[in-house]
């Protein structure tokens, strides 16, 4: 009877996890909550993510990338890698609790969380525990600044403005551009400032920004600012800010038959953004930064890494060849492999602090699915990026921007 009750209890736990944490597996749940981890045979990697709540859908690809990497490489230094999940429930207060719970399990490295605010909430606990953490799609610079234990595998928002400027300078050979941004948006302003700084520095011309206008977030009619744009004849314009506003601006510009390429951040690579664009918008009307491209034809030879090919093969085997992996999935995959690579480079009795020393070493680098990754003094990556467009319902690469120096 006792054995029967135990079986029923485990079945109930399993059912609960399937309902609440559809992205996690029974093995992950069992390893995190039922089994006692044997440090002689197991290495724990923590995963801090919103498995439930409003942000759980958006976080799925980060988690899938981590899980796919774990399936490809489940061992390190002769030990089984156990993914230990902690659900921050898409809530700031819950994120603090989830981080505290996770660090108490003493994983070697923590991956996540999706959502800048959740990583910021977890940051003090990660720093106090001295456990290195790797954010996946966080673009807020505050996630890594002043925390020597937090890293990221994507560029911060301001760097994306720099990358877009480099694209039009290097690929398009243009020395004049424009800026259209929302008022009172600090992140958009940082991106626009990085763009204008690069343009002015490279052209040695303070007038290289020939068009600079602002609008109000949520505005519906952009006739006035777009009419001014048409009068300048500027045909490359950075458009930072909310992607809903960006889509409305691009659609209205297409209605006005403006021959302009608007330049945006990695959010434009999301399917939700693509669906907002009207059928009058051409591929040449919207170009954007991405940290991964499944399109081999448009990327440089140096970007076709061994890990990239392994990732695409593993993805095709897991999900079929009729779909393409998202940027977030590739970044989640790389975050896991960076953690494993650092663990592999450490001694068998290494602590989390030892792992952190490896990641913080200026000479450290890892050639991942998204390109060569090096971390700067803030824990931010210096890596390859891609300028993509939407073409035939898929993203296509039109230029590869080499790592920022």
* Average pLDDT, consecutive stretches of 10 residues, N- to C-terminus, the chain (405 residues): 39 42 44 53 96 96 98 95 97 97 97 96 98 96 95 92 95 94 94 96 95 96 97 96 97 97 94 95 96 71 77 95 90 98 92 97 93 92 90 89 72
Judge contact between 266 and 243, C-beta under 8 A. no
pLDDT of residue 11: 41
Q: DSSP characters for 257-273?
A: T---EEEE-GGGGSHHH
Q: Is residue 151 part of a domain?
A: yes
Residues 270 and 187 in one domain: yes
User: For residue 294, what are the CA distances in angstroms to 163, 257, 267, 365?
Assistant: 19, 31, 16, 22
Instruction: Say which CATH number the domain at 267 has.
Output: 3.40.50.2300
Six token digits for residue 213: 């206008």
DSSP alpha helix (H) spans, 221-323: 223-232, 243-255, 271-276, 306-319
Residues 245 and 364 in one domain: no
Kindly state the DSSP code that residue 206 receives in the 8-state scheme. T
pLDDT of residue 348: 84
pLDDT of residue 5: 38
Q: Is residue 122 part of a domain?
A: yes
Residues 251 and 233 in one domain: yes
**What is the number of structural domains in the chain?**
2
Residues 151 and 175 in one domain: no
pLDDT of residue 115: 94
Judge contact between 85 and 24, C-beta under 8 A. yes
Q: Name the residue range of residue 63's domain.
A: 41-155+326-382
pLDDT of residue 13: 42
Q: Is residue 14 part of a domain?
A: no
Residues 47 and 113 in one domain: yes
């Amino acid at each position: 009877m006792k054995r029967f009750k135990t079986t029923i209890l485990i079945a109930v736990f399993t059912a609960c996890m399937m309902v609440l944490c559809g992205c996690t597996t029974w093995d992950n749940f069992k390893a995190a909550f039922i089994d006692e981890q044997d440090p002689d045979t197991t290495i724990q990697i923590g995963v801090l993510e919103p498995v439930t709540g409003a942000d759980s859908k958006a976080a799925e690809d980060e988690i899938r990338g981590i899980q796919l990497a774990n399936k490809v490489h489940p061992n390190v230094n002769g030990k089984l890698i156990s993914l230990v999940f902690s659900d921050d429930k898409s809530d700031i207060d819950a994120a603090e609790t989830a981080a505290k719970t996770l660090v108490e399990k003493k994983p070697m490295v923590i991956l996540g969380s999706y959502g800048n605010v959740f990583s910021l909430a977890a940051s003090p606990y990660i720093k106090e525990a001295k456990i290195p953490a790797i954010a996946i799609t966080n673009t807020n610079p505050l996630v890594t600044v002043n925390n020597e234990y937090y890293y990221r595998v994507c560029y911060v928002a301001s760097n994306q403005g720099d990358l877009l400027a480099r694209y039009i300078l290097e690929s398009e050979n243009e020395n004049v551009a424009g800026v259209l941004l929302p008022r009172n948006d600090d992140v958009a302003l940082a991106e626009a400032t990085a763009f204008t700084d690069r343009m002015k520095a490279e052209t040695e011309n303070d007038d290289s920004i020939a068009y600079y206008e602002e609008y109000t977030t949520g505005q519906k009619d952009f006739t006035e600012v777009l009419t001014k744009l048409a009068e300048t004849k500027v045909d490359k314009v950075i458009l930072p800010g909310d992607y809903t506003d960006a889509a409305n601006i691009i659609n209205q510009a297409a209605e006005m038959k403006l021959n302009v390429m608007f330049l945006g951040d990695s959010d434009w690579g999301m399917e939700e953004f693509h669906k907002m664009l009207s059928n009058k918008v051409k591929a040449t009307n919207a170009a954007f930064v991405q940290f991964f491209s499944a399109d081999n034809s448009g990327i440089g030879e140096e970007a076709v890494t061994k890990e990239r090919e392994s990732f695409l093969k593993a993805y095709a085997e897991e999900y079929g060849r009729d779909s393409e992996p998202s940027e977030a999935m590739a970044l989640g995959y790389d975050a896991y492999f960076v953690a494993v690579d650092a663990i592999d480079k450490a001694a068998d009795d290494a602590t989390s602090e030892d792992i952190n020393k490896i990641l913080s070493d200026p000479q450290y680098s890892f050639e991942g699915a998204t390109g060569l990754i090096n971390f700067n003094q803030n824990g931010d990556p210096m890596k390859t990026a891609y300028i993509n467009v939407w073409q035939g319902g898929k993203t296509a690469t039109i230029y590869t921007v080499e790592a920022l120096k």
